[in-house]
Structure formats: C-alpha cells, structure tokens
Amino acid sequence: MLNAKIPAGPLETKWSKYKSTVKLVNPANKRKLEVIVIGTGLAGASAAASLAELGYKVKAFCFQDSPRRAHSIAAQGGINAAKNYQNDGDSVFRLFYDTVKGGDYRSREGNVYRLAEVSASIIDQCVAQGVPFAREYGGLLSNRSFGGTQVQRTFYAAGQTGQQLLLGAYSALQRQVALGNVKMYNRHEMLDIVTVDGKARGIIARDLVSGKLERHFGHAVLLCSGGYGNVFFLSTNAMGSNVTAAWKAHKRGAYFGNPCFTQIHPTCIPVSGDHQSKLTLMSESLRNDGRIWVPKKKDDNRKATDIPEEERDYYLERRYPAFGNLVPRDVASRAAKERCDEGYGVGASKMAVYLDFAEAILRYGKIEAGKKGDDNAGKEEIIKLGKSVVAEKYGNLFDMYAKITGENPYETPMRIYPAVHYTMGGLWVDYELMTTVPGLYALGEANFSDHGANRLGASALMQGLADGYFVIPYTIGNYLADELQTKPIPLDHPAFVETEKAVQDQLDKLMSIKGQHSVDHFHKALGKIMWDKCGMARNEKGLTEAIGEIQALRAEFWQNVRIPGSQHEFNPELEKAGRVADFLELGELMCKDALQRKESCGGHFREESQTEEGEAKRNDDNFSFVAAWEYKGPGSSELHKEALTFDIVHPTQRSYK
C-alpha cells in the first residue's frame, strides 16, 4: 500500500508542523553521514550545497564536465513565487490553486501547497546569492505573467533566468567543494543503484573519460537527474538529458509515477528537417507580450507582414478571452495543432503559427515617448523606442531566434510550433521526497510530485530549488536519524560486487553486438513512434500499436546496434547506447500508462475523451489517482494506485474562457 506520508492537520500548517516535529540529526553526527547526489542542476546543486552546509559529507556526480552545463540553464523565462509585489491579488493560496488547476487536478494538495509556501523564500535566497533579477525603476524586483495565471508572479533575469539561478546554486556548491564538504565527480555517470537489505546504500558509476567502473557508498542517495523528454528524440532537452538514473532506480524497486504525463511546450522553433538532433525552446515569457495568430484563410502563402489585421485569427484570444495568449501550455499546444491540422498553418511546412510582437513594440514605444514628453513622436521613432524595450526584456531570445532561422523577429513575426519539453511523470515519492526504496530520494523533475498532468510555466525552477534548498534538508534527517549506527559499508560487500558485475555485463553485451545501425538510428525510430502515437494526442489503437512496435524495435536494437570504439576509453556512442536502451524500455511503459488512463487530462489527451469544444475531458470517478508502476521484469510492470483526495480545491472542468 502506497503511503504518501502527508502530515495531518490543516493544509496551511502541514509543512510547519512537519518541520517542528521531524527527527533531527545533531551537527556532530551529520559529519559521520555520507550522502550521494546524482545530477548537479538546480535541484542537485542546491541540495548538495545545502546538505554540505549542514555538515553532511556529500559526493556529487554529473556527467558533464561542469555543473554549469546542466540543462537547468534552458529554463529561460522565469521562476514563480507568491510575493504579490505587483499588489494584483496574488497569494500563497492562489499560487497553490493555479498549480493544482493547471495540473488538471492530478497532483497532491499537500505537496503543491508546500511548494507555494516556500516559493517566496527561494527568491530571498537567490537575491542573497547575487542572482541579477530584473528590477523596476524604484529598485523592487520586477514580475511578468506566465500561462495559466491572471497575476504577475514570475521573477526573471532577462531571458536567461535558469542560467543565472544555476550560477547562484553552482557558487554555493563550489563553496562547499572548496571547504572539503562536497567531493565533485565530473564526467561520471551513475549506471546502477546498490541496495543492501532493501535500502539504497550506494551507486555504481562509470568514469566517462577512462571508462572505469567505480563503487561509491552513501547512507542515502538523491536522484536529481532531470526528466526523460528525450525519449521522443526531438525535444527541447539537451542531447545528454536521459532517464538512466531514474530507470535504474525503477528496476531496483522504485515505483515510476505517471510516466505518460509529458508536457508539450507551445513556443518552440518548428522542425526544419530530418537533420535536426534537438529543438529550440523560445521562452514562454514571449507569450507575455507576443500575440499568437494564423491567417483566416487556409493555405495562405503571403508574408505575415502582408496579411492585414482583419484577415488574422488570434485564435487563443478568440477561444479563451479570459486568459488569451496566457492559457496553460497544454491548452495552447493543442490549439496550435488544431489550427495547423485544419490547414491554417504557416511557413514552408505549414506546421507553425505566428508569434507577433508588433503591437507590443508600438505599445512600449508610445510609453517611452510619453516618458520623454514627446507627444508628437512619429511612428518610426515610436517603433525604434519600442524595439529597445523589447530588446531589454527579451533580447537574447530574439537574437537566438535570428541566428537559428535567419529572420529578424523585430521586423516579422516568429514562427513557432509545440514540442516536447518537460516530463511531469517521474519516480514516485512521498511527502519527504523518498521513493519506494528506503534511503533513495528523487528531487526536481526526476520525481512526479508537484505538477499533476501539466506544469505551469516558470514552475520547474521553483520546484527544483524548493526541493533542494528548503525540503530535502528537513526530510532527509527524518531518515538519517535512524541510520547513525550504520557504518560505511565496505566496497567489496557482495551487493557492490554483484551490482557492478551486472553493469559490466550490460556494457560487454552492448559492445559485443557489432550490428549494422547506429545508436541514433534506433533513437530516432523510437522518437517517431512516441511522437506519432504517444505525443500531443493519443488513442487506444495508436497506443496499442506503439507498444508492439517498441517491443520489436527493442529486440532489433539488442541484435543490430553498432557501437564503435572501446568501453575502456571516452566513448560517447557507448554512453548513448546505454541511455537509448533505457528509453526503449521506458517508452513501452509510457504507452502502457497512457493506454490504461482512459481520460484526457493536462498534457495527456486521449482523443476518445474530449468535450464538444475539443477540450480535455477528465474522468474523476475512475482516474483520480497517481499511477505508480512497479518493475516486474523485462516488459512487465504492475500498476499501483495512490488515490488523490481534494479537500480544498475541488475538481471542476477546467475553463480559461
């Protein structure tokens, strides 16, 4: 029976009561305890720095050459926090409410309220670290709007918020490295979890430079390894982003929660051909000022600037007048797909819509002219002034778009289309962020806990830092307080020997195949199956077909993949092969999960379950639960259900009209 360990009592006091009554580890004892942290993005770097600051001995692992390369830098637009600086009606409760509603009522109230509650502390922490958040004229921190809300609560640093927040966490981490409290292992990849008597007690890691396998002990292991969006091959994720750490934990007993809940981001540069290895995200912050539209006439081949205003369909503003261009990501993505499928798409592929800043440029230009007292400014001057304001707020994003497409977004609307971005599913964790394996925790995007079926924009950074800075430092002590008598387990313990042998056997097997096709060949084939049949829209027939196709593809992979080089050297193809092998297993589970969830909710859109207006239609009577899958062997899983209860926010049909 799954126990989420949600504290009793009123929602507003659950976290404070928990912190006041949780078991503690005194400072002298913390120095005797070792914690392993896998991944050094926002969740991992903040957790490693915080735990080391408390006195624990921390080992941190990242497969990049530096934690600064973590994919957290790609979250450009901002970070949410309920500070109500704009005095526009925001509050902790409203952030909690928006998040539960935005996730289509498929997340835990207790976890989400805690996230909203600690959000304000994150901003204070980051400001103290020197994160250069944008400020208003008077010096107060600035806010802007993101999807799914009617208030301005998103703090930002131009269009590089994730990078600046990561530099803050990285600085805190490096301080602890210099003090000797954190031992960094760069260019190391975790390939398995070591369990002793059912508890996580260490890992097997591969030095990616030498190819050598290493054993590492820890009293607890934290997985902060991000999401699994690259199962689709083309996504906004960095090429190295993978599911291996989480999947190996799953195969060691950690349940996988809601694997089919993946997020499609509506604001990405469209696919331009088969040559691409990834897609580029244009921050959701652009929807704060940009207007999205398509021509009213099908197959309209005119330039965007040649299409007059009366012949443009601002379809989000038309369909969702209350929220307009700031509807949640799943709603905006499906609306764009619907317009393109109906023949209103733009660009050479006709699989794109316009994101237009012309009106914002004029609006900002008039404001700037007014500041100067120039009531007679001409249109050319107004446009010039407006462009300078837009450049200040979004300049690096506009520059990136221009470099990739060769088009000037200040002069002509951007072309955008939805793409895989974030995964709401992940390892199942309880309120303490512990998986079903004692001593094994999952933080940030690696767990399933806070976003339900759809994540609101600017909440990924919020969750990663909340988990690392403000949640795990309390909750891990509740477990480690009972582990004080556990001495470091010798690395020649049978559990370490057996686990390393299993890892070595898989590496040997991969290298021995010597087939005909590259790793990317199989990854692309898997990605196409997943996008076509488990992407923005799913149906029973397609999902059933996908499961069979993935099984066949996996069998072919293990017979016909070609990996050049040796395992005893730097070998990126071998790294990729192991990750794709895991994706080939995960993909099947995602389709199984999507097949059993016979409802539409958030980013999971079953075509058989929609309203007359084409919106997602939930089935609360039968599917108000977290799907937690237990690994039972190759291609075999057992479904466990954690019932979701809503005492405060009662589920209703979502409406953004």
Q: In this predicted structure, what is the pLDDT of residue 76?
A: 85
Q: Does residue 318 fall inside a structural domain?
A: yes
Are residue 397 and residue 503 in the same domain, yes or no?
no
The residue range of the domain holding 596 is 492-624
CA distance 76 to 63: 22
User: Exposure string (b/e) for 355-367, b if CB count within 10 Å is 16 or more?
Assistant: bbbbebbebbbbe
* Residue appearing with tokens 């020997």: 497
Are residue 367 and residue 497 in the same domain, yes or no?
no
**Cα–Cα distances in angstroms (integers) from residue 657 to residues 182, 316, 334, 604, 615, in the given order:** 50, 10, 15, 20, 12
Q: How many CB atoms lie within 10 A of CB 594?
A: 27
Q: Does residue 565 fall inside a structural domain?
A: yes
CA distance 363 to 128: 34
CATH code of the domain covering residue 524: 1.20.58.100
Q: In this predicted structure, what is the pLDDT of residue 24?
A: 97
Q: In this predicted structure, what is the pLDDT of residue 148?
A: 86
- Helix or strand holding residue 419 (H, E): strand 414-423
The chain-wide mean pLDDT, for the chain, equals: 95
CA distance 28 to 19: 20
Q: Does residue 278 fall inside a structural domain?
A: yes
Q: Is residue 634 within 8 Å of 644, Cβ to Cβ?
A: no
Q: Does residue 379 fall inside a structural domain?
A: yes
Q: Is residue 616 within 8 Å of 602, Cβ to Cβ?
A: yes
* Residue appearing with tokens 């301005």: 152
Place 283 in a pLDDT band, splitting at 50, 70 and 90: confident
Q: In this predicted structure, what is the pLDDT of residue 474?
A: 97
Are residue 400 and residue 520 in the same domain, yes or no?
no
In three-state secondary structure terms, 387 is helix
Mean pLDDT for the stretch of residues 263-290: 89
Are residue 393 and residue 506 in the same domain, yes or no?
no
Are residue 392 and residue 534 in the same domain, yes or no?
no
- Domain termination residue (choose one: 419, 447, 474): 419
Mean pLDDT for the stretch of residues 565-576: 96
- Domain termination residue (choose one: 395, 419, 443): 419
Place 621 in a pLDDT band, splitting at 50, 70 and 90: very high
Are residue 515 and residue 608 in the same domain, yes or no?
yes
Q: In this predicted structure, what is the pLDDT of residue 1?
A: 76
Asked if residue 285 has pLDDT above 90, the reply is no
Are residue 515 and residue 414 in the same domain, yes or no?
no
Amino acid at 243: V
Give the pairing type, strands 154-155 and 79-80.
Answer: antiparallel
Give the pairing type, strands 199-207 and 291-295.
Answer: unpaired
Mean pLDDT for the stretch of residues 447-476: 96
Percent of the chain with pLDDT over 70: 100
CA distance 552 to 573: 22
Indicate the pTM of the whole model.
0.96
Q: Does residue 530 fall inside a structural domain?
A: yes
Q: Is residue 310 within 8 Å of 125, Cβ to Cβ?
A: no
Q: Does residue 392 fall inside a structural domain?
A: yes
Q: Is residue 194 within 8 Å of 213, Cβ to Cβ?
A: no
CATH code of the domain covering residue 373: 3.90.700.10
When divided into structural domains, the chain yields a total of 2
Q: Give per-residue pLDDT as tens, 304-336.
A: 999 999 999 999 999 999 999 999 999 999 999
Are residue 407 and residue 518 in the same domain, yes or no?
no
Q: List % helix, strand, coil for the chain (3-state, nearest 5).
A: 45, 15, 40
Amino acid at 288: N
Are residue 275 and residue 414 in the same domain, yes or no?
yes
Mean pLDDT for the stretch of residues 215-244: 97
CA distance 236 to 284: 13
Q: Give per-residue pLDDT as tens, 332-370.
A: 999 999 999 999 999 999 999 999 999 999 999 999 999
Q: In this predicted structure, what is the pLDDT of residue 655?
A: 82
Q: Does residue 500 fall inside a structural domain?
A: yes
Q: Give per-residue pLDDT as tens, 60-103.
A: 999 999 999 999 998 888 999 999 998 999 999 999 999 999 99
Place 654 in a pLDDT band, splitting at 50, 70 and 90: confident
Asked if residue 127 has pLDDT above 90, the reply is yes
Tokens of 288: 């704060």
Mean pLDDT for the stretch of residues 622-632: 98
Q: Does residue 135 fall inside a structural domain?
A: no
Q: What is the dihedral of CA 66, 68, 69, 75, to 10 degrees?
A: 160
Asked if residue 273 has pLDDT above 80, the reply is no
Place 272 in a pLDDT band, splitting at 50, 70 and 90: confident
Give the pairing type, strands 220-223 and 291-295.
Answer: unpaired
Mean pLDDT for the stretch of residues 113-134: 96
Place 376 in a pLDDT band, splitting at 50, 70 and 90: confident
Q: In this predicted structure, what is the pLDDT of residue 277?
A: 85
Asked if residue 275 has pLDDT above 90, the reply is no
Q: In this predicted structure, what is the pLDDT of residue 158?
A: 85
Q: In this predicted structure, what is the pLDDT of residue 613?
A: 86
Q: Is residue 62 within 8 Å of 166, Cβ to Cβ?
A: no
Q: What is the dihedral of CA 217, 220, 224, 225, to 10 degrees?
A: 40
CA distance 223 to 96: 25
Asked if residue 262 has pLDDT above 90, the reply is yes
Are residue 410 and residue 503 in the same domain, yes or no?
no
Please give the angle made by the CA atoms of 612, 618 and 621, to the nearest 5 degrees.
Answer: 125
Active site residues: 329
- Domain termination residue (choose one: 419, 436, 463): 419
Are residue 509 and residue 606 in the same domain, yes or no?
yes
Closest CA to 466 of 146, 15, 143, 161: 15
Are residue 292 and residue 396 in the same domain, yes or no?
yes
Q: Give per-residue pLDDT as tens, 469-505.
A: 999 999 999 999 999 999 999 999 999 999 999 999 9
Mean pLDDT for the stretch of residues 180-190: 98
Mean pLDDT for the stretch of residues 593-605: 97
Which residues are CB-neighbours of 233 under 8 A, at least 6 positions away? 523, 524, 526, 527, 528, 530, 531
